[in-house]
Chain A
Amino acid sequence: MNFDLDEQQTALQNTVADCLAQQLDTPRLLAVVNGDDGHDAALWRTLGELGVFGVTVPEAWGGTGLGLLEAALIAEVLGSRAAPGPFLGQVLTALAIAEGGTDAQRERWLPRLARGEAIATLVLGEPAERWQPDEWTLPAADRLAGRKTHVLYPWLADVMLVGTAGGGLMLVANGEGIDVERIPCLDPTRRLGHVTFTGAPAEPLAFDGARLRDAALVLLAADAFGGARRCVDMAVEYALGREQFGTVIGRFQAVKHQLANMATDVEPAQGLYWYAAHAFDAVAEDAARMAALAKAHIAERFLQAARGATEAHGGIGYTWEYPLHVWVKRAVFDRAYLGSPTIHRRRSARLAGWTSAA
């Protein structure tokens, strides 16, 4: 048994972490936060050159052909740095095309997606909280007609992966028959729009929408873990520097215990997202349930940690200027996007057979 990362995985995670530590300093993050796009094209290019977007793309198509675990390790780092941009849709569309696409679809999209030259997004949500594949109602057709909601960066996307009635997926190249309505996004490191299809040409893709949803839940859980741990670290760092009553506040037991509780709530969850990702890659019978459990559990831990960190900071944590609020809002996003913790716990209960009928 070896429930640990191998050298390649550790190196991958460290490389991305080092890159972001160098590139995405606070002024640069705040520039995105206060800008219109929620995107940093230069940072995106840098990450593309590092191979971040090719992680789920087979080598034959210009990627590194790794698994969801490796993508999740990257997502943890992105969450830790609150990195902006359409990473989620990028790697998951690539994963879906790699596993379920025709050679023509692969040829057309994978090499460009792997390099980050083309951008992809997921078009899944529908009005009234219809996030889950078995709730999608958009009819699958050669030309799509209908409304999808809460889409990340639809105006940037060259290609959209669209969930359709029955839980299937279709590929749509951005162009005719697509109306995008930008909406104000609470999370300043991401941007959202609603999408109305009015006859957009679509191609079927042989990849199960439920499996795509599971992968997305794992990446959100990993992002949330990275964010949660970062909130704990920021609170600890602040407690080591801030002086009141003639000493650093980290010397007061009330503060120490609050931070210890926050850390204890967060830290064990790393193994949970590792396993959920590993199960997606290698343990089919656990994949759906562990993805649901990981997203529900860790998104809540993130929001709790973000709240706790804000309280530990006092007034400065309540300002726009100090960056902690960025993680608070990213935590809200990770919690609500693709369905709340309650929804995924209910799914997990159903998948576990927690019913008298079983």
Chain B
Amino acid sequence: MDLSYGAEYERFRQEVRAFLGDRWSPDWRRDPGRIAEFRRQATERGYLFRNIPRRFGGSEQPPDVLRAQVIAEEFTRARAPMEPPGNGVRMLVPTLLECGAPWQQERFIPPTLRGEIDWAQGYSEPGAGSDLASVRTRGELVGDEWVINGQKIWTSNAQNCQYMFALVRTEPDAPKHQGLSYLLLDLRQPGVTIRPLKMITGQSGFNEIFFDDVRTPADWIVGKRGEGWQVSRATLKHERSAIGSAETYLQQFDKLVELAREVSRDGRPAIDDPLIQDRLAEIEGYVVAHKYSTFRQLSMSVNGRDPGRVSYMNKLVGTEIGHRIAALAQELIGADSLIMPTYERGHGVGNERWMNQFFGSLGVAIAGGTSNIQRNIIAERGLGLPRDSAAGGGA
């Protein structure tokens, strides 16, 4: 057991640090031109898009989770941009790499990596949430075009996206899971109506999208007709196999301790209150356990060993930690939790900013598979309990 990175990785860290010192300044954070140029150089050095072939604009590096970890740490420290955020890089590109036609890969992957086009995810519908395979948005092949009618929902950032990847029912007579196709479509066309939904926070982050005879070329299908479900699973597999990091929660916890130093209870700093200390330490037990649990999973994966059932639990573990932090934060801010939080330049202000963390922790419990769906997955795949056919096996 050795928690240092070792000489090879420390040399690599120095190399990354020197590159960032030379080529990046935090002052450029709002300059799209500088960011694009920086990403190009960082990719050339093998720091970004490591698992994407060079011919598509990636850096095609051999898999090395520790190098990836060092890069993430150093970029975060230098406040330098990594891969562009969003569904395109995170979901569509891996899907195209695994299931896409060569022309689709060549056409869509490079500009997505460069951040030139953004993608909306067209999965959920009003009647298809946890039971995603029951989507009803129809796609009919008319001549050399798909004609799409229906509605998608919870689509983040759709106003800024040019394209969408969507699950669409193209084989209405086939069984539920075999009737779907994975289509790409241009959102900037007549028949597409995007209606922002106001979220629990009062902000608008996601949308409803209505399709009224929307058209996309016949060959903008990924995989074959009726294979959409498997194609969409190919992406989820990537998503779920990601161990993720406890870093977010470690940082939130440190801020919670700072909050306890700042606010008062009974006329003295809350941090001196034994009850608050106890609750902080209780949460810290979960946070530190999660931290070393992710280290353990990462190392075991590197060593070719199976980390076991815990790999299905990471999302639920993080969700529960977020809830616990939110509960204590509300206790600490007291009457400030009565105030609706506001933003200044994207950052919350006042103690009521902790209510953003509260709402965020609620969102985490829903997005990307609700906690109850996670429990199905843990029970069935982690613990080997029988699959529930009615619930589609929590797939």
A356 touches B271 (CB 8 A): yes
* Inter-chain contact A268/B313, CB cutoff 8 Å: yes
**Chain B contact surface mostly:** helix
Task: Please determine whether A4 and B296 come into contact, CB atoms closer than 8 angstroms.
Answer: yes
Q: Find chain A residues with CB under 8 A from B305 CB.
A: 4
Residue of B nearest to A7 (CB): B303
Complex Cα gap A297–B286 (Å): 8
- Chain A contact residues, majority secondary structure: helix
Q: CA A206 – CA B263 in complex, angstroms? A: 44
Complexed CA–CA distance, A322 and B291 (Å): 36
Q: Is the CB of A253 within 8 A of B388?
A: yes
Q: A11 to chain B: which residues have CB within 8 Å? A: none
Q: Do B383 and A259 have beta carbons less than 8 Å apart?
A: yes
CA distance A252 to B310 in the complex (A): 22
Q: How far, in whole Å, are A82 and B290 apart by their CA atoms in the complex?
A: 26
A242 within 8 A of B: no
Of B4, B66, B375, which contacts A260 at CB under 8 A?
B375
CB of B296 within 8 A of CB of A257, answer: no
Complex formed: what's the CA distance from A356 to B320 in Å? 28
Q: Is the CB of B277 within 8 A of A251?
A: no
> Ordered nearest first, which 7 A-B pairs have the shortest CB separation?
A271-B292, A297-B285, A345-B281, A256-B379, A268-B293, A349-B277, A356-B269
Known: A3-B1, A270-B293, A356-B272. A296 touches B285 (CB 8 A): yes
A186 within 8 A of B: no
Q: Can you show 18 pairs from A to B with CB atoms below 8 A apart?
A: A1-B299, A3-B295, A236-B383, A240-B384, A240-B386, A253-B376, A255-B385, A256-B376, A260-B383, A267-B293, A268-B290, A272-B288, A293-B288, A296-B282, A297-B282, A297-B286, A354-B260, A355-B271
Residues of B within 8 A of A (CB): 1-6, 9, 66, 69, 257, 260-261, 268-269, 271-272, 274, 277-278, 280-282, 284-286, 288-296, 298-300, 302-303, 305, 308-310, 313, 316-317, 320, 372, 374-376, 378-380, 382-386, 388, 391
**Shortest beta-carbon distance, B253 to chain A, in Å?**
11
Chain A residues 207-266 with CB under 8 Å of chain B are: 232, 236, 239-240, 248, 250-251, 253, 255-257, 259-261, 263-264
Q: How far is the CA of A267 from the CA of B313 in the complex (A)?
A: 8
B277 & A248 in contact (Cβ 8 Å cutoff): no
Verify if A56 is at the interface (C-beta below 8 Å from B).
no
Distance in angstroms from B348 CB to nearest chain A CB is 24
Taking the closest CB of chain B, its distance from the CB of A33, in whole angstroms, is 27
The complex places the Cα of A251 from the Cα of B391 at a distance, in Å, of: 11
